[in-house]
């Protein structure tokens, strides 16, 4: 069976990780990546000897790229014409414009969380609504926080049923290496309810959700606390058992050294993971507490990499590569090396 051909538009924080992710999938082929400018990431591509073919976002961007000695294979339109599906990780708003090109050339596309829901036919999460994405033309992935949150909520929902959740998102304000945005010695609050709670309800309409988001001046991972009302009473031990069984959730403890969000980054660097990335969310065993029937716990969301697996799932869904949710997510996990560590415990 021939490999599914994939292109990536936007070689930024998410786009470059999507490219890495696709190149690890045994049943997919990364045709190339496209961007508008010789950013640091594009310059690094050149220093590495161009492992991925590079396409200029448009013809009029070639001069600047040529001046920086970036080998350019063609334009975005050239790239789109060669692929089965595009992963669009451009800045918010650009994806909606690119969609016209994808539609014109009759290609499928998966948009990232920054775009409006209306850009896509389906708002997608690999574990929670895989079936909804089957054979669809345009998918939009949930954003990083929502993707990680839904993993944990879907896990418990399938195991024991979830009635409602109230979340507090303690959000990192910038990515490592960002200078164009930041926050200094302040916590900043957003209007409630947070979009992540609303998004969760779009994906899982049978669950009530609300939440408050607070920006914090850090770069390594969001922490979300979840107050979850399950449909039936559940012990902490039983909840732990379900969380531990999920391939994309790492249950950790403070005693092991997971003292906060930066520990996951440290650990991933020590594991030798490229870029120090981690695909799994973390869930602190020490954080799980009960209040009446309610269960409360804290998770860690590695914002740069968490959506990569679910985007791979999205390719499988829209291209019909696997019909079954478990088979599809399992195939993604196998190629990304997710869950191998579970054999250690």
Closer CB to its own copies, 15 or 126, in the complex: 15
Q: Which of 1, 2, 26, 47 binds its own copies (CB under 8 A)?
A: 47
Site map (CB under 8 A) of its own copies, residues 283-302, x = contact: -x-xxxxxxx-x-xxx----
Q: At its nearest, how many Å lie between its own copies and the CB of residue 100?
A: 30
Residues 118-177 that bind its own copies (CB under 8 A): 163-166, 168, 170, 172-174, 176-177
Closer CB to its own copies, 73 or 216, in the complex: 216
Structural tokens at position 216: 């914090």
Backbone angles phi, psi at 209, to 5 degrees: -145, 140
**144 is an active site residue:** yes
In eight-state DSSP terms, residue 86 is E
For residues 3 and 22, the answer to whether their CB atoms sit within 8 Å is: no
Nearest CA to 216 out of 190, 250, 197 is that of 190
**What are the CA-CA distances from residue 140 to residues 57, 136, 216, 244 (Å)?**
21, 11, 27, 28
The string over 146-174, giving b where at least 16 C-beta atoms fall within 10 Å of a residue's C-beta and e elsewhere, is bbbbbbbbbbbbebbebeebbbbbbbbbb
Q: Which of 184, 206, 232, 237 binds its own copies (CB under 8 A)?
A: 184
Residues 15-44 that bind its own copies (CB under 8 A): 16, 38-41, 43-44
User: In what helix (H) or strand (E) does residue 162 lie, and over which residues does it extend?
Assistant: strand 162-172
Site map (CB under 8 A) of its own copies, residues 207-246, x = contact: -xxxxx-xxxxxxxx-x-x-x-x-----------------
Give how far the C-alpha of residue 224 lies from the chain's centroid of Cα atoms, to the nearest Å: 15
Nearest CA to 239 out of 299, 199, 324, 168 is that of 299
Would you put residue 56 in left (φ > 0), alpha (ψ -120 to 50) or beta?
Answer: beta
Query: How far is the C-alpha of 36 from the C-alpha of 94, rounded, in Å?
Result: 11
Give how far the C-alpha of residue 323 lies from the chain's centroid of Cα atoms, to the nearest Å: 21
61 touches its own copies by CB under 8 A: no
Q: At its nearest, how many Å lie between its own copies and the CB of residue 99?
A: 27
Q: At its nearest, how many Å lie between its own copies and the CB of residue 330?
A: 20
Q: At its nearest, how many Å lie between its own copies and the CB of residue 142?
A: 20
Q: Which of 2, 100, 185, 237 binds its own copies (CB under 8 A)?
A: 185
Q: Which of 64, 256, 324, 327 binds its own copies (CB under 8 A)?
A: 256
Q: Which of 64, 66, 131, 178 binds its own copies (CB under 8 A)?
A: 178
Q: Which of 63, 106, 118, 181 binds its own copies (CB under 8 A)?
A: 181
Nearest CA to 39 out of 181, 182, 177, 221 is that of 177
Pairing of strands 188-189, 162-172: unpaired
Catalytic choice (68, 144, 155, 318)? 144
189 touches its own copies by CB under 8 A: yes
Structural tokens at position 259: 């003292």
Q: Which of 132, 193, 238, 242 binds its own copies (CB under 8 A)?
A: 193
67 touches its own copies by CB under 8 A: no
Query: How far is the C-alpha of 230 from the C-alpha of 86, rounded, in Å?
Result: 38
Closer CB to its own copies, 39 or 81, in the complex: 39
Q: At its nearest, how many Å lie between its own copies and the CB of residue 48?
A: 6
Site map (CB under 8 A) of its own copies, residues 258-277, x = contact: xxxxxx-xxx-xxxx-xxx-
Residues 71-90 that bind its own copies (CB under 8 A): none
Structural tokens at position 182: 């930041």
Closer CB to its own copies, 181 or 206, in the complex: 181
191 touches its own copies by CB under 8 A: yes
205 touches its own copies by CB under 8 A: no
Question: Could you give the residue numbers annotated as active site?
Answer: 144
């Amino acid at each position: 069976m021939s490999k599914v051909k994939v292109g990536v538009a936007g070689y930024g924080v998410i786009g470059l990780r999507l490219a890495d992710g696709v190149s690890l999938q045994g049943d997919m082929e990364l045709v190339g990546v496209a961007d508008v400018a010789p950013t640091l990431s594009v310059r690094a591509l050149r220093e590495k000897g161009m492992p991925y073919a590079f396409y200029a976002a448009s013809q009029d961007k070639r001069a600047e790229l040529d001046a920086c000695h970036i080998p350019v294979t063609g334009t975005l339109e050239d790239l789109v014409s060669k692929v089965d599906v595009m992963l669009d990780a451009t800045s918010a708003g650009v994806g909606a414009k690119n969609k016209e090109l994808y539609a014109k050339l009759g290609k499928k596309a998966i948009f990232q969380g920054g775009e409006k829901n209306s850009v896509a036919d389906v708002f997608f999460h690999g574990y929670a609504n895989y079936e909804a994405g089957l054979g669809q033309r345009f998918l939009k992935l949930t954003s990083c926080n929502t993707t990680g949150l839904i993993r944990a909520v879907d896990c418990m929902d399938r195991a024991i049923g979830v009635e409602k959740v109230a979340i507090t998102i303690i959000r990192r304000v910038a990515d490592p290496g960002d200078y164009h945005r930041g926050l200094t010695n302040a916590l900043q609050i957003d209007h409630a309810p947070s979009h992540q709670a609303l998004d969760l309800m779009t994906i899982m309409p049978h669950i009530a959700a609300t939440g408050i988001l607070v920006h914090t001046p850090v770069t390594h991972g969001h922490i979300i606390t979840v107050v979850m009302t399950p449909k039936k009473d559940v012990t902490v031990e039983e909840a732990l058992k379900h969380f531990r069984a999920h391939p994309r959730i790492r249950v950790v403890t403070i005693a092991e050294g997971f003292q906060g969000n930066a520990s996951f980054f440290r650990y991933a660097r020590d594991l030798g993971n490229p870029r120090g990335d981690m695909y799994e969310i973390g869930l602190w065993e020490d954080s799980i507490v009960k209040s009446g029937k309610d269960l409360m716990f804290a998770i860690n969301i590695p914002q740069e990499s968490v959506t990569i697996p679910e985007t791979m799932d999205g390719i499988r869904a829209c291209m019909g590569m696997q019909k079954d949710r478990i088979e599809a997510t399992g195939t993604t996990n196998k190629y990304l090396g997710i869950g191998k560590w579970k054999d250690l415990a």
